[in-house]
Structure 1
Amino acid sequence: MTGEKVKLLGNWASPSALRIHWALKLKGIEYDYQEEDLPNKSPLLLQYNPVHKKIPVLVHNGKPIAESLVILEYIEETWKHNPLLPEDPYERAKCVPGIFGTFVKVGEEQQKIAKEARENLKILEGELGKKHFFGDTKIGFMDVASAWIICWAQIVEEVVDIKLIDAEEMPSLVSWFQNVLEAAPILKECTPPKDKLLEHNKGFHKMLVASASS
């Protein structure tokens, strides 16, 4: 649409912001990107998301939309070309608390949350089956909403030394993330390098552990 102004407020290490980058790229939507320093939030972020003060925030012609799944649905409804074949992403979102819970918890609580995360990942594996994508022959809404989960699960595994993805039990998930990136090179271009994410999250995890023990 001519004359539209689209802006994304995000952070390079945020999986939620990555979802939005992917959707905008697949739709071919031109947008301005503002990198947010989360400990020092910009006046623009505080203006557009004053209650939760979180990224990502999509600003379309001055109208802010927050929460990544809500933003994905807004993008799909507003720009109907290159449809992403919407499927219900909310059930799959339950993988997220388990993965991040494994990252921030310790001891028995960490083991319990890790077990729940593995069970939810198995559900994803079952739904994916033998397909390359949840959209079957093409990348769809579900793939954009959830493919980052595998990348971050692998990061969490390396940081806390707890295995979440079993290659024998979840062979489809192991290859799914790479399938998505290979099918759409434009998505690979805006996906942070794994080594950079790993170093970032190692430092973040040390900070969380130090904070918890102080």
Structure 2
Amino acid sequence: MKMADEVILLDFWPSMFGMRVRIALAEKGIKYEYKEQDIFNKSPLLLEMNPIHKKIPVLIHNGKPVYEVWNDKSPLLPSDPYQRAHARFWADFVDKKVYDVSTKLLTTKGEELEVGKKEFFEIYKILEGELGDKPYFGGETFGFVDLSLITFYSWFHVYEVFGNINIEAECPKIIAWAKRCLQKETLANSLTDQKKVYEDVLRRKRSLE
């Protein structure tokens, strides 16, 4: 994308998937217009640009939806084919496993919640093993897997309160990694504050009671 091109992002501020796009755009230095969406009352533009899934985020480039913010030439993906495939594998792991175990902490109670907590930490300990002693998942620089996982950090306070857990006590490497990521200005400016996400989730839960 050229800087002069028109880029619009349709997004919902607490979305971990939307935050990924915001970080990727910031990392690439791409200017864009942000249009906040009500995911419970979807706009005609959102329905037009994403008629099948009807979900955010949607990136619009010169009037057309873009489904991949990054490509194989992106600095977020390794240039080596094996390393690139490895990064995509772990990003897929985050999308499927991390998302599923995180959702359980918010939607279950009692014995099911206890099982959910156990699964949550099992998944994060697998990720700690993959991270090892490296600063970032890909090595010395922030990359594709880091981008996939770091946006969940904005939801950690929500998970801790509703799941009655302490993530740092169980997975200190993950918290240290997250804090390292947040030293990057592009991330610090793109991630939503944990307390703000918690207050929004609490407000929505109360409105359903």
TM-score range, shorter chain: 0.7 to 0.9
Note the C-alpha offset of 1:20: 0.5
Read off the aligned partner of 1:40 and give its amino acid letter: N
| 8 Å contact from structure 1 (residues 99, 153) kept in 2 | no
Aligned to 1:92: 94
Read off the aligned partner of 1:193 and give its amino acid letter: D
Partners of 1:203 and 1:134 in 2: how far apart?
35
Partners of 1:164 and 1:116 in 2: how far apart?
14
| 8 Å contact from structure 2 (residues 153, 194) kept in 1 | no
Aligned to 2:71: 77
Note the C-alpha offset of 1:123: 0.7
Shift of the 109–25 alpha-carbon distance from structure 1 to 2, 3 Å rule, reads: same
Note the C-alpha offset of 1:4: 2.2
Aligned to 1:138: 141
Taking only aligned residues, the RMSD between alpha carbons, in angstroms, comes to 2.0
Partners of 1:190 and 1:151 in 2: how far apart?
10
Aligned to 1:204: 204
CA displacement 1:144-186 (0-9 Å, x = unmatched): 111122331332212x14216252x42210111111110x112
Note the C-alpha offset of 1:52: 2.3
List structure 1 runs of 4+ shifted beyond 6 angstroms: none
Aligned to 2:10: 9
Q: Which runs of 5+ in 2 are unaligned?
A: 79-83
Shift of the 207–111 alpha-carbon distance from structure 1 to 2, 3 Å rule, reads: farther
Q: How many residues align?
A: 198
Partners of 1:81 and 1:152 in 2: how far apart?
27
Partners of 2:159 and 2:205 in 1: how far apart?
9
Q: Which runs of 5+ in 1 are unaligned?
A: 66-70
| 8 Å contact from structure 2 (residues 9, 59) kept in 1 | yes
Aligned to 1:163: 165
TM-score, normalised by the number of residues in structure 1: 0.83
Partners of 1:83 and 1:148 in 2: how far apart?
15
Aligned residues: percent identity?
36
SS at match of 1:58: strand
TM-score, normalised by the number of residues in structure 2: 0.85
Read off the aligned partner of 2:99 and give its amino acid letter: V
Read off the aligned partner of 1:197 and give its amino acid letter: V
